[in-house]
Structure 1
Amino acid sequence: MSDRILVLVRHGQSEWNLKNLFTGWRDPDLTEQGVAEAKRAGTLLKAEGLSFDVAFTSALTRAQRTLALVLGEMGQEGVKTSRDQALNERDYGDLSGLNKDDARAKWGEEQVHTWRRSYDVPPPGGESLRDTVARTLPYYVQEILPCVLRGERTLVAAHGNSLRALVMVLEKLSPEGIMKRELATGAPIFYRLAADSTVLEKRDLIA
């Protein structure tokens, strides 16, 4: 059986998730719940008998800390890790730091929904999901995927939208399909890949 393993995990709850703020490239830390979610992810992965050879994360604290907590829970603190802003959350531009309810009051429910849920309409000064895919996918192809195909068990701790970009490719989802896909905080997604990088097995690891 192939040992081309890739696990994706969205960071645990951040302080701004809790406050209902658009976060994007801003850099709040995890909440206590977020720390617990990251540790639980590590426990789930350890219970699966998994270990990792290499890890990737973004340039933002909440993803880096999630990765450290996951690996710490697994007793794997020394795993080779790469950090890159290519895996950062989608940049929400002028919405960053705003309360989502305040944004709806300012621009209207329909406009904010379009910015959040359309594939190719960016918020003012920010990125659409298509822009995020264009930033994240080359990094996946050039840096992450080669590790997986060499048989290095690979962990990626990142963000809802940067991980959506990877899920879109792995699961061959349409722009409409990926916008409907929710990624829970601290919930690992396990993939086993074939030699041609297609998915042989996919499982959501939940407690």
Structure 2
Amino acid sequence: MSTLVLVRHGKTEWSSQNRFAGWADAPLSATGIQEARGAGHALAAAGLRFDRAYTSYLSRAVRTLEVILDELGQGAIPVERSWRLNERHYGALQGFNRAKMALQYGNDQVAQWRRSFTAEPPALPEGDPRLPSLDSLYAAVDPALLPRTESLQQAAERVGLWWHDTLAPALAGEGRLLVVAHTSSIRGLVRQIEGLGDDAAASFRIATALPLVYTLDDRLQVLDRQELAEGWSGRVRQFINKHKPGKRISWI
């Protein structure tokens, strides 16, 4: 058996401003750091330990992982970063307030970009300073692979490649692995783990800093799945995540 824990990063300063983050490096807020500490406490209380951890190139996920490992007293374990674990790229919407984009493009259109599995937001134009190909963080990545926008499907496909190339082999045997990433990249992993269809994948949500724990057999089939919600704050985030309004409310 192997253990895989998926954690979405903590709340960011941009989330309180209701802005599209995507690949922008929105920092954790003070609340997000506290949420990350809570995730570490929950994992420690459950007796979970890890052999290796993975995260994205974005600081909100990297910092969340650092706080969790510090709470676990496991700051020395190997950590691997991959751009394929980044959040979905929101194209030209990135950095803008969600409600304002709903007013500009129409609520239904923005809801379609956010929740449809195949819809792509408007792409970043050539020369836009927000392009990943212009960011030194991605200097080692083939520019042809870096997106200017992404649908949920495209984000899931790049994460699927990482699952098959990196995570699935590492889970062989009795691996104990921790992944701290983003809603869309975790959605892509859950799609692989649970065999979700397009509609189920598009509707998948995960609350900030609530560990999702999988126990897998030798064929990577799910034996157990549980969400660790420690304390009042964790239970509130869990409740809100499960009762969010549907697809038509684009700014939620």
Give the TM-score band, short-chain normalised: over 0.9
Q: Distance in 1 between matches of 2:223 and 2:188?
A: 19
Give me the TM-score of the superposition, normalised by structure 2: 0.80
**47, 50, 59: which is aligned to 2:48?**
50
1:137 corresponds to 2:160? yes
Native 8 Å contact 2:113 2:120 kept in 1: yes
1:93 corresponds to 2:66? no
Structure 1 stretches of at least 4 aligned residues deviating more than 2 Å after TM superposition: none
Give % identity. Answer: 40
1:188 corresponds to 2:211? yes
49-58 vs 143-152, which moves further? 143-152
**13, 27, 32: which is aligned to 2:25?**
27
Q: CA deviation at 1:150?
A: 3.2
User: What pairs up with 1:123-162 in 2 under 5 angstroms?
Assistant: 123-125=121-123, 126-162=149-185
Residue 7 of structure 1 is matched in structure 2 by: 5
Code of the aligned partner of 1:86:
R
Residue 72 of structure 1 is matched in structure 2 by: 70
Q: CA deviation at 1:152?
A: 2.1
Q: CA deviation at 1:171?
A: 1.7
**84, 103, 106: which is aligned to 2:82?**
84
Code of the aligned partner of 1:201:
D
Residue 164 of structure 1 is matched in structure 2 by: 187
92-101 vs 133-142, which moves further? 133-142
Residue 37 of structure 1 is matched in structure 2 by: 35
Higher Rg of the two aligned structures: 2
Give me the TM-score of the superposition, normalised by structure 1: 0.97
RMSD: 0.8
Which whole-Å deviations, capped at 9, do the CAs of 1:97-117 have from their partners, x for residues lacking one?
A: 010000001100010000000
Code of the aligned partner of 1:182:
R
Native 8 Å contact 2:173 2:218 kept in 1: no
Q: Distance in 1 between matches of 2:196 and 2:160?
A: 14
Q: Distance in 1 between matches of 2:180 and 2:12?
A: 14
Residue 101 of structure 2 is matched in structure 1 by: 103
Code of the aligned partner of 2:80:
S
Residue 205 of structure 1 is matched in structure 2 by: 228
Equivalent residue of 2:184, what SS?
Answer: helix
